[in-house]
């Protein structure tokens, strides 16, 4: 079957680009002797996950317990649930751990430490915990300079028989950077916050075997990983226009696209309508704050070759409107009704989440080589 026989809209995944993207990050982290813990939040797919992991047993990071359950079923043993735990989710954590999964969790408050300690006592299970450290104020985590709070959390966990496994930082600020130098500066602050907190814990007599940092920009560009033990990253495998805008990859590295059919022309031929709206590409406008605003996505032909200056400039639920960038001097391509295009996404995590499967092809080929199911929900 060829991809031009697929029902549109749907996802097309270029396996060659996927493999290259994975190899690039993996080689980089191997050279630096770091453990790589790929994040499954983007792909949510066993086949993609297996290509990202070093071993079928992991390690991996996940953003939902649904991901943890699915990858556990597929044989993964070392799973970090990298979102601060809600106490009500501890029962599901226990259930997975009782099946032999080394599921670790993240906390950043004394209140969570108390809940985890209570659960550890109840289950007589040393639930492994990483303390999240906030390096840049972007999201969660204990402020890196709130030493007393970090130590109180550690003491509470220890008293309850939970395992303090380490510290974790996430630098959302890397996504706001304008160039590689800025990314490196932010990543260095992230590293320092993590290493400082690990030192604090160790000096107080607590073990802190894992010092985990991550995000695709950090994993791609940070030069200094001194005293870091592991790196997390997820979106790198598919890559997207936001990553290309940050300089993390080139637009040509993007492995994921949305296949769409032309269904109309309007505005005296200045607009092309396709059957992929925001339901198919998501509402993510992540490049709007970057140097080049790509609208809802960059348009390629069926071979995956970029059509000059053509972007999805507007979207409703099931309609995408393609037009030339303002100021473009090229003319609109001839795309009659029924033609197919491929749309490169702003944000692969958001776009992939709108679909149920990946249609796998190789570069330059229209032949469908495989179909990989993905899962969603919580």
Report helix, strand or coil for 105.
strand
Between CA 139 and CA 66 the distance in angstroms is 22
Q: Does 222 bind its own copies (CB under 8 A)?
A: no
- What x/- string results for residues 301 through 330 when contact with its own copies is judged by CB under 8 A? ---------------xxxx-x---------
- What x/- string results for residues 169 through 198 when contact with its own copies is judged by CB under 8 A? ---x--------------------------
Task: Choose the binding region for its own copies from 6-14, 150-158, 179-187, 224-232 (rule: CB under 8 A).
Answer: 6-14
Q: How far is the CB of 105 from its own copies (least distance, A)?
A: 11
Q: Does 149 bind its own copies (CB under 8 A)?
A: no
Report helix, strand or coil for 216.
helix
Residue in 245, 265, 360 with CA at minimum distance from that of residue 320: 265
11 or 46: CB nearest its own copies: 11
Which tokens in the block code for residue 57? 């047993």
Report the site for its own copies in 226-255 (rule: CB under 8 A): none
Q: How far is the CB of 319 from its own copies (least distance, A)?
A: 5
Q: How far is the CB of 347 from its own copies (least distance, A)?
A: 8
Between CA 30 and CA 52 the distance in angstroms is 13
Q: How far is the CB of 336 from its own copies (least distance, A)?
A: 7
Q: Does 264 bind its own copies (CB under 8 A)?
A: yes
Task: Choose the binding region for its own copies from 97-105, 202-210, 322-330, 370-378 (rule: CB under 8 A).
Answer: 370-378
Sign (positive/negative) of CA torsion 138, 142, 144, 146?
Answer: positive
Between CA 325 and CA 340 the distance in angstroms is 20
* HSE-CB of 275 using CA atoms within 13 angstroms: 14
Task: Choose the binding region for its own copies from 155-163, 301-309, 331-339, 361-369 (rule: CB under 8 A).
Answer: 331-339
Give first-to-last CA distance, the chain, whole Å.
33
133: left (phi over 0), alpha (psi -120 to 50) or beta: beta
Between CA 238 and CA 240 the distance in angstroms is 7
The neighbour count for residue 148, using CB atoms within 10 Å, is: 9
Residue in 315, 266, 324, 366 with CA at minimum distance from that of residue 6: 366
Q: Among 273, 299, 300, 324, which residue sits at the site for its own copies (rule: CB under 8 A)?
A: 273
109 or 220: CB nearest its own copies: 109
Backbone angles phi, psi at 10, to 5 degrees: -160, 165
Q: Does 77 bind its own copies (CB under 8 A)?
A: no
> For binding to its own copies (CB under 8 A), which residues are involved?
7-10, 41, 63-64, 83-89, 92, 108-109, 111-112, 115, 134, 137, 139-141, 172, 261-267, 273, 275, 278-280, 282-285, 316-319, 321, 336-338, 349-350, 353-356, 376-378
């Amino acid at each position: 079957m060829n991809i031009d026989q697929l029902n549109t809209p749907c996802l097309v995944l270029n396996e060659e680009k996927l493999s290259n993207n994975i190899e690039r990050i993996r080689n980089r982290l191997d050279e630096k002797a770091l453990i790589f813990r790929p994040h499954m939040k983007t792909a949510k797919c066993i086949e993609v996950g297996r290509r990202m992991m070093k071993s079928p047993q992991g390690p991996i990071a996940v953003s939902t317990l649904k991901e943890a359950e699915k990858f556990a079923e597929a044989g993964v043993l070392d799973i970090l649930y990298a979102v601060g735990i809600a106490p009500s989710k501890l029962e599901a954590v226990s259930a997975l751990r009782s099946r032999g999964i080394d599921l670790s969790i993240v906390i950043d408050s004394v209140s969570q430490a108390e809940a985890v300690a209570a659960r550890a006592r109840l289950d007589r299970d040393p639930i492994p915990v990483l303390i999240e450290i906030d390096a840049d104020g972007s999201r969660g985590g204990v402020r890196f300079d709130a030493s007393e709070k970090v130590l109180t959390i550690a003491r509470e966990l220890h008293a309850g028989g939970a395992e303090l496994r380490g510290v974790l930082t996430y630098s959302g600020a890397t996504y706001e950077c304008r160039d590689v130098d800025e990314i490196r500066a932010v990543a260095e602050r992230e590293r320092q916050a993590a290493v400082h907190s690990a030192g604090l814990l160790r000096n107080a007599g607590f073990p802190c075997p894992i010092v985990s940092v991550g995000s695709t920009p950090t994993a791609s560009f940070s030069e200094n990983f001194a005293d870091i033990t592991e790196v997390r990253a997820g979106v790198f495998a598919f890559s997207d226009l936001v990553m290309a805008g940050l300089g993390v990859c080139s637009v040509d590295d993007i492995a994921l696209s949305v296949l769409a059919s032309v269904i109309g022309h309007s505005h005296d031929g200045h607009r092309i309508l396709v059957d992929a709206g925001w339901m198919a590409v998501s509402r993510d406008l992540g490049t709007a704050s970057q140097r080049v605003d790509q609208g809802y996505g960059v348009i390629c032909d069926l071979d995956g070759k970029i059509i000059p200056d053509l972007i999805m400039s507007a979207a409703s639920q099931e309609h995408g409107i393609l037009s030339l960038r303002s100021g473009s001097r090229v003319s609109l391509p001839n795309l009659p009704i029924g033609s197919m295009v491929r749309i490169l996404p702003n944000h692969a995590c958001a776009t992939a989440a709108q679909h149920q499967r990946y249609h796998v092809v190789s570069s330059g080929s229209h032949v469908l080589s495989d179909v990989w199911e993905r899962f969603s929900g919580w």
